[in-house]
Structure 1
Amino acid sequence: MIPPEQTPSEDSLRTRRLQRAASAVLYTVLVAIALWTVRAFIPAVVWAAVIAIALWPALGWLEERPRFRKHGTWLAIGLTAAIGLLFVVPFAVVATQAASEARDMMHWFHEVLRSGIPMPALIDRLPVGSHQIAAWWQENLATPLGSSPAVHNLHSATVVAMTRHLGGRVVHGLVIFGFMLVTLFFLFQAGSRLGEQLFAASRRAFGADGAMLARRMADSVRSTVVGLVVVGLGEGALLGIAYAIAGVPHATLLGMLTAVAAMLPFCAPIVFLGAALWLLANGATVAAIGVAAFGLIVVFVAEHFVRPVLIGGSTRLPFLLVLFGILGGAETFGLVGLFIGPALMTILVVLWTDWVRR
C-alpha cells in the first residue's frame, strides 16, 4: 500500500484510467451480448414495462392496503390476470362473432365468386367521378370474380402464402403476449421496491438530473397510456351507443373497433364514417348524417380538449410534440412506439430547458 504522505505515481494513475476504460468497454460488450441474446423477447419486456408504469400508482396504493400488504404474490397474480382478460375478452368476442357468421360469410363468398358484387346505387349519386367508378366496378367487380381482372393475380399459391404469413404473425403475437404477461407478473411481484431501486440507480449513475429525467419519462408514458387508451375506450363506447341507436349491425363489435382506432390519433373517423356510408347506401340518410355528425363532435372534443390535457398536461409537453412523438414513435417502433415516442419528446424538452437555463 502507498503511505498516506505519498501520492500515486503517474504510471499508477494511468493504469487505473486504463482499467476503468477497459471495464467500461467490457461492461458495454457484455450488455450488448445479453441484449442480442434476448432480442426476440425485448418487445414483450417493453410492453410489460409500459403497462407496469401505467399501473404503478395503483399498484402502490394496493400494496398499502392491509389486505394485500402480506400477499404481494396474489396481488401480482390478480393484476396480471386482469390485464390478460382485458386483452383476451375483446378478441374472444370478435372470434365468437366471426364464428357465428362464418356460414353466412362463406355463402356470400361463393355467391360473389359466381355472380360478382352488385354495384351500390350510391355510386350513381356521387357528384364527381360516378361514371369512372361505375365503369371500373362493372369491369372488375360486377362480373364473376373468377374471371375478374381485379382478382386475376390472386391465385391459390398467393392465398396460401398470405395465409401462412398471417398465421405466423398471429402465433408470434401470441408468444410475445404470453411472455409479456410473465414479465408483467414479476414486475408486479417486485412491487414498489423495484421502482425505488431503478430511481436510486439513475441517481447514482447520472445524478439528481438523471433521476428527475427518469421520473419525467415515467410520467410521460403513464399520461400517454391514459390519454390514448382511456380516451379511445370512451370514444368507442359513445360511438357504439350511436351505432346501436342508428341500427348499424354488430354495434358492439364496431364499437370495439372504433375504440382501437381511436387510440391512434385521427383514426376513429375511418370507422364511423364507414358506418355512415353503409347507412347511406342502405337508404338511412338521417341515421347516416346523425352518426357522422355525432362522431365528428366526439372526436373533435376528444382530440382537441380531453387528450391534450391528459397527455401534455401532466408532462408539461406541448401537444404538437405529443402528436409528433406518437406518430413518429409508431412509425419507428411499431405499436409500442405510441408510448415510447412522447417519452423521448419529454427528454428532448428537458434537455432543451436545461441548456437554455445554463
Structure 2
Amino acid sequence: MKNKTADLIEPLIALAAICLLSLTIFAIIKPFLAATLWAGILVLSTWKPYLKLVALYKGRRALAALTMMAVFGGFFLVPVIFAASEFASVVSVWGMQVKDSFTHGWPKLPEWLTSIPLAGANIEQFWLKLGDRDSETLQTIRSYIAPASQILLMLVTEIGSGMMLLAMSLFIAFFIYLDGEDLLAWIHGFMARIAGERSIELLAVSLSSTKGVVYGFMGTAMAQAVLAWFAYLIAGVPNATTLGFASFILALLPGGPVLLGLPAAAWLYHQGDVGWSIFMVLWMLLVVSSADNVIKPLLIGKGSRLPFILILFGVLGGALAFGMLGVFIGPVLLTVFYELARSWIFPSNSLPSTDSTNSDEVSN
C-alpha cells in the first residue's frame, strides 16, 4: 500500500514542479512575448528571401540577417517616423493659428460647424457661454479634462510602447534568422511528440496559414494605404502621410480605409472643393475598397478563409492582449488556430498533404 501511495505522489510532485517551472518561465518571457511572436511571424514569412541573401553573401548569415533588419526597419519604422513628424508639425501650426485667433477677442466658430443640423445651434450656444466664462460651462469642461488627459496619456504611452516592441521584435528576429534551423528542429520534435505522424501536415497548415495572413492581409493593407495616401496627397487633404498610415491599420478590417476617406471627402466639400470631394468618395469606394477583393485573393491564393468575425476578434483582441503589435499578431494566431482546427475536424477536405510545396518547405 505504501509503495502504491509513493508511486502516486511522486508523479504528482513532478507534475507540480513542471507546472511551477512553466509559470515561472512564462512570467520571465511575458514582457517579450508580443515581440517574440511578431519576430517569429516575420522570419517565417520571409525565410526564403533570407536564404537567398545568405547564398548571395556566400554563407554570411549575420550580414544577410542585418540586411533583412534594414528592410524591415524601412518598411515599418520609416512611415511611422514620417507620420509622427508630419503630425507634430501640423499640431504646431494649429497651435499658432488658435493663438492668433484669440488675439482680437473671442473668435466665432466656422459657419459649416454651426450650420450642422440639430447639433450646430447647441455647439454655438456652448461656445458663446464658454466665451462669457459661464460657471456651469467651465465646471462641465473641468469634469472632462482629467479623463481626456488620461486617455491622451494612455494613447501616447501605447504608441511609444508599440514602437519599442517593434524595434525589439526586429532585434529578436535577427537571432531567429541565425538559429532558424535549430529552432525548426525543436518545433519538429515538439509537434512529433504531440501529433505523431500528422506533425508534418499540421506544420504545413500553420506555415501556409501564417503566410496567407502576412502576404494577404498585410500586402492588401499596404496597397490600400498607398492608394489612400495618393488620394489624400493629390486632393490636398492635410496630414496625408498620417492618414495613409492610419489607413494601413484600418485596412486590416474590410472597408476600414473608407472610415477615414469619407470624412476627408466631407472636409473637402466644406472647403469648396466639390470636384475633389466627389473624386475622394469614388476613389475610396471603387478603388481602395475593391483592392481588398482583388489583391487579397491573389496574395493569399489557397490560404486562409478566416471569417470576418474572427478577423475582428483578432484585430481588437490582439490589440487588447499585446498592444499595437497585437493588431497584426491577433489575426495571424487566430488564422493558424482556425486552419489547424479545420484540418483536424475535416482532414479529408483540408489537409495540405497534397500540396508538395508546403510539405517540402516544412520538412526542409
TM-score (norm 1): 0.79
Secondary structure of residue in 2 paired with 1:214: helix
Aligned partner of 1:223 among 202, 209, 212: 212
- The equivalent of 2:94 in structure 1 is 105
Matches within 5 A, 1:67-216: 67-110=56-99, 115=106, 118-121=109-112, 124=115, 130=117, 132-141=118-127, 144=130, 148=137, 151-155=141-145, 161-162=150-151, 164-216=153-205
- 2-side partners of 1:121 and 1:31: how far apart? 60
Say if 2:42 is the partner of 1:62: no
Greater RCO structure (CA 8 Å; 6+ sep): 2
TM-aligned CA distance change 1:61 to 1:245, over 3 Å: same
Aligned partner of 1:338 among 320, 323, 331: 331
- The equivalent of 1:5 in structure 2 is none
One-letter amino acid matched to 1:244 = L
- The equivalent of 2:314 in structure 1 is 329
Secondary structure of residue in 2 paired with 1:107: helix
Q: How many residues align?
A: 333
Cα pair 1:120 1:281 within 8 Å, conserved: no
Aligned partner of 1:303 among 292, 300, 303: 292
- 2-side partners of 1:21 and 1:205: how far apart? 21
One-letter amino acid matched to 2:340 = I
Aligned-residue Cα RMSD (Å) equals 3.2
**What per-residue deviation string (whole Å, max 9, x for no partner) do you get for residues 265-293 of structure 1?**
32101111121011011111121111111
TM-aligned CA distance change 1:276 to 1:95, over 3 Å: same
**What per-residue deviation string (whole Å, max 9, x for no partner) do you get for residues 147-197 of structure 1?**
656634244x55664555445434433442333222111111113443344
Say if 2:343 is the partner of 1:350: yes
Q: How far off is 1:28 after superposition? A: 3.8
Aligned partner of 1:34 among 22, 25, 42: 25
One-letter amino acid matched to 1:331 = L
Cα pair 2:220 2:296 within 8 Å, conserved: yes
TM-aligned CA distance change 1:292 to 1:143, over 3 Å: farther
Could you tell which deviates more after superposition, 239-248 or 267-276? 239-248
- 1-side partners of 2:161 and 2:260: how far apart? 27
Could you tell which deviates more after superposition, 226-235 or 80-89? 80-89
Could you tell which deviates more after superposition, 211-220 or 135-144? 135-144
TM-aligned CA distance change 1:308 to 1:75, over 3 Å: same
Any stretches of 5+ residues in structure 2 without a counterpart? 320-326, 351-364
TM-aligned CA distance change 1:25 to 1:302, over 3 Å: farther
Could you tell which deviates more after superposition, 279-288 or 252-261? 252-261
Q: How far off is 1:326 after superposition? A: 1.7
Q: What is the identity percentage for the equivalent residue pairs of Structure 1 and Structure 2?
A: 20
- The equivalent of 2:357 in structure 1 is none
Could you tell which deviates more after superposition, 91-100 or 182-191? 91-100
- 2-side partners of 1:223 and 1:33: how far apart? 34
TM-aligned CA distance change 1:36 to 1:95, over 3 Å: same
Q: How far off is 1:123 after superposition? A: 6.6
Q: How far off is 1:93 after superposition? A: 0.9
**What per-residue deviation string (whole Å, max 9, x for no partner) do you get for residues 128-149 of structure 1?**
xx1x111222123466477656
Say if 2:244 is the partner of 1:249: no
Cα pair 2:219 2:299 within 8 Å, conserved: no
- The equivalent of 2:272 in structure 1 is 283
Q: How far off is 1:24 after superposition? A: 5.1
TM-aligned CA distance change 1:100 to 1:122, over 3 Å: closer
One-letter amino acid matched to 2:214 = V
Cα pair 1:115 1:144 within 8 Å, conserved: no
- 2-side partners of 1:244 and 1:32: how far apart? 51
TM-aligned CA distance change 1:154 to 1:233, over 3 Å: same
Say if 2:38 is the partner of 1:47: yes
- 1-side partners of 2:159 and 2:245: how far apart? 19
- 1-side partners of 2:208 and 2:154: how far apart? 38
